[in-house]
Amino acid sequence: MRKPCCDKQDTNKGAWSKEEDQKLIDYIRKHGEGCWRSLPQAAGLLRCGKSCRLRWINYLRPDLKRGNFGEDEEDLIIKLHALLGNRWSLIAGRLPGRTDNEVKNYWNSHLRRKLINMGIDPNNHRLNQNLLRSRNSPNPANATSSGSKIQAKQQPTKSRVDSEQTSDAGSCLEDDQCALPDLNLDLTMSIPSSSIAHVQGNPKDNESNFLRPQKIAPSSNLLLSQ
C-alpha cells in the first residue's frame, strides 16, 4: 500500500467529482493559477494542492486539445523523444493543447509499441539488433512485423516489470547507427531577448538552460526542421 501524499486525513482521493471540478474551475477563473498549497482551502476543496494542480493542468485547463493525436503530432513526439528522451514536459511544450501526462501516456500505450513493431528500439530509437540479425537470416518468418497485437502482448506489461522504460534516447544522436538516419533533428532555440544578456555572460548556461524545461520561456522558439 502506498503512503498518502498528504498527511491530512480529511483530504479526498481518487477520481474527481463534477462538483469538485466546478469549484476548482470557478476559483481559478476568479483568482488565477498559483499558490496551490493554499488553493484547496480557499476554494473549499478537500484535496491537497498537488492534486488540484494536477487536475487543472491535465484535465480542466480550457486550452487543452484532448482527443486523438494526429499523425503530425505522433511524428513530432517520436522525433522529440529521440532527441530529448523522457522529458515529457519539454515534449508537451511543443504540442499545443497537450499535457506532459497525455504525451507520456500516449507514448507508453501507443508509440512505444508502434516503434517496436517497426523494429525500432523505443528507448534509443535504433534499429533493433535482433531484428537486424533476423532480417539477414535465411528465415524470413523471424522478421515479420505483422500481428502487432500479438507481438505487443508478448511484451511485459508496460512499466510494471519493464526496465526498458528508462530511456537513454538522447544519446542516440551521437551514434551513426541511429535508427532514424534521415532525421534532421536540428533542434535549436532562440533565446528570449530579455535573457540574452545572462546567457551571453555565461556560455555554459546554454546547455544547462536547455536541460531545464521549466526555465524555458513559453515564447522560446524551439525550431524543428527536417
Partner DNA sequence: AAATCCCGCAACCGCGATGAA
Partner DNA sequence: GTTCATCGCGGTTGCGGGATT
Q: Using CA atoms of 2, 56, 69, 225 in order, give the dihedral in degrees to the nearest 10.
A: -100
Residue burial 114-139, b: 16+ Cβ < 10 Å; e: rest:
ebbeebbbbbbbbbbeebeebeeeee
**Using the rule CB under 7 A, is 14 a contact of DNA?**
yes
**Using the rule CB under 7 A, is 131 a contact of DNA?**
no
**Using the rule CB under 7 A, is 27 a contact of DNA?**
no
**Using the rule CB under 7 A, is 128 a contact of DNA?**
no
**Using the rule CB under 7 A, is 213 a contact of DNA?**
yes
**Using the rule CB under 7 A, is 2 a contact of DNA?**
yes
Pick from 25, 49, 65, 183: which binds DNA (CB under 7 A)? 49
Q: What are phi and psi of 225, to 5 degrees?
A: -115, 155
Pick from 87, 98, 125, 126: which binds DNA (CB under 7 A)? 87
Long-range contacts of residues 103-111, Cβ cutoff 8 Å, at least 24 apart: 103/77, 106/69, 106/77, 107/77, 107/81, 108/158, 108/159, 108/165, 109/158, 110/69, 110/74, 111/74, 111/77, 111/78, 111/81
Residues that contact DNA, how many (by CB under 7 A) = 53
**Using the rule CB under 7 A, is 117 a contact of DNA?**
no
Q: What are phi and psi of 106, to 5 degrees?
A: -65, -40
**Using the rule CB under 7 A, is 204 a contact of DNA?**
no
**Using the rule CB under 7 A, is 81 a contact of DNA?**
no
Among the listed ranges 80-88, 127-135, 180-188, 198-206, the one in contact with DNA (CB under 7 A) is 80-88
Give Cα 28 to chain centroid, integer Å.
Answer: 25
Among the listed ranges 11-19, 128-136, 172-180, 199-207, the one in contact with DNA (CB under 7 A) is 11-19
Name the residue nearer to DNA (CB basis): 56 or 128.
Answer: 56
Name the residue nearer to DNA (CB basis): 30 or 182.
Answer: 30
Interface with DNA (CB under 7 A): 1-6, 12-16, 34-38, 49-51, 53-55, 58-59, 86-90, 100-102, 104-106, 108-110, 113, 149, 152-153, 157-160, 165-167, 212-215
